[in-house]
């Protein structure tokens, strides 16, 4: 930030953090659901922070009958990256062909990317999402050589400010600008 802007914000009484907080895994222990489950490999295993537990479906996913896992982030977040951890060490060469989606409302899903997780060789994919706003994430398996599943889904980001918070900051900045124009000191 420039010095002038910091002075302007200080006059307005707005506190500005000097550095952004580190991104956190906002998917950690959030509600997860799947359209198919092979017990005891439940959906919650994919967001428990443990790369050794997993969600698995009892079927492979296909384009006409995809197997999916959704995570409700329980709020809107600015997501910088999503990490997908597939099978690693169980069946070398086993593949999961997937589509990854995001949603703001839980009903309309927007494709982020597609890819293939391969056991042992290419089982961690980090997807850059450029701070996109998301309320939910969907991992959909549409092909592969084994049952659909995922060991971990991590979503790194931060809260998206509420519109009322943005209005408060904008109002404070407007007041500060007015004070500067009129030569009034705080």
Tens of pLDDT along 149-162? 999 999 999 988 66
Q: Is the pLDDT of residue 65 over 70?
A: yes
Please compute the mean of the pLDDT values over residues 86-106 and round it to a whole number: 91
69, 128, 155, 186 from 132: Cα distances, Å = 20, 10, 11, 37
Q: Is the pLDDT of residue 170 over 90?
A: no
Q: Is the pLDDT of residue 52 over 80?
A: yes
CA atoms within 13 A on the CB side of 112: 28
Q: Say what the pTM is.
A: 0.77
Contact 148, 141 (CB under 8 A): yes
Q: Is the pLDDT of residue 110 over 50?
A: yes
The domain 22-161 is placed in CATH, from the list 1.10.630.10, 2.60.120.260, 3.40.109.10, 3.40.1160.10, at 2.60.120.260
Whole-number Å distance between alpha carbons of 89 and 148: 16
Domain boundaries, the chain: 22-161
Whole-number Å distance between alpha carbons of 134 and 137: 7
Question: Quick one: tokens of 22?
Answer: 């580190």
Q: Which long-range contacts (CB under 8 A, 24 or more apart) does 63-68 make?
A: 63/142, 63/143, 66/99, 66/140, 66/141, 66/142, 66/148, 67/34, 67/35, 67/36, 67/140, 67/141, 67/147, 67/148, 68/34, 68/35, 68/138, 68/139, 68/140, 68/141
Mean pLDDT of the chain: 84
Nearest by Cα to 21 from 164, 149, 156, 177: 156
pLDDT of residue 45: 98
Please compute the mean of the pLDDT values over residues 90-110 and round it to a whole number: 93
Query: Using 50, 70 and 90 to split pLDDT, how confident is the model at 179?
Result: low
pLDDT of residue 12: 43
């Amino acid at each position: 930030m420039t010095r002038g802007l910091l002075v302007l914000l200080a006059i307005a009484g707005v506190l500005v953090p000097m550095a952004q907080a580190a991104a956190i895994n906002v998917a950690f222990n959030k509600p997860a659901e799947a359209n198919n489950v092979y017990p005891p490999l439940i959906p919650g295993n994919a967001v428990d922070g443990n790369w050794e537990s997993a969600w698995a479906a009892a079927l492979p996913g296909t384009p006409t009958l995809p197997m999916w896992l959704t995570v409700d982030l329980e709020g809107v977040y600015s997501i910088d990256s999503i990490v997908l951890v597939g099978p690693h060490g169980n069946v070398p060469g086993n593949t999961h062909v997937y589509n990854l989606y995001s949603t703001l409302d839980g009903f309309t899903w927007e494709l982020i990317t597609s890819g293939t997780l391969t056991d042992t060789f290419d089982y961690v994919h980090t997807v850059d999402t450029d701070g996109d706003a998301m309320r939910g994430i969907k991992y959909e398996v549409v092909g592969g050589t084994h049952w659909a599943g995922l060991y971990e889904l991590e979503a790194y980001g931060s809260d998206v400010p509420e519109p009322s918070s943005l209005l408060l900051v904008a109002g404070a900045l407007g007041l500060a600008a007015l004070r500067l124009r009129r030569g009034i000191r705080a």
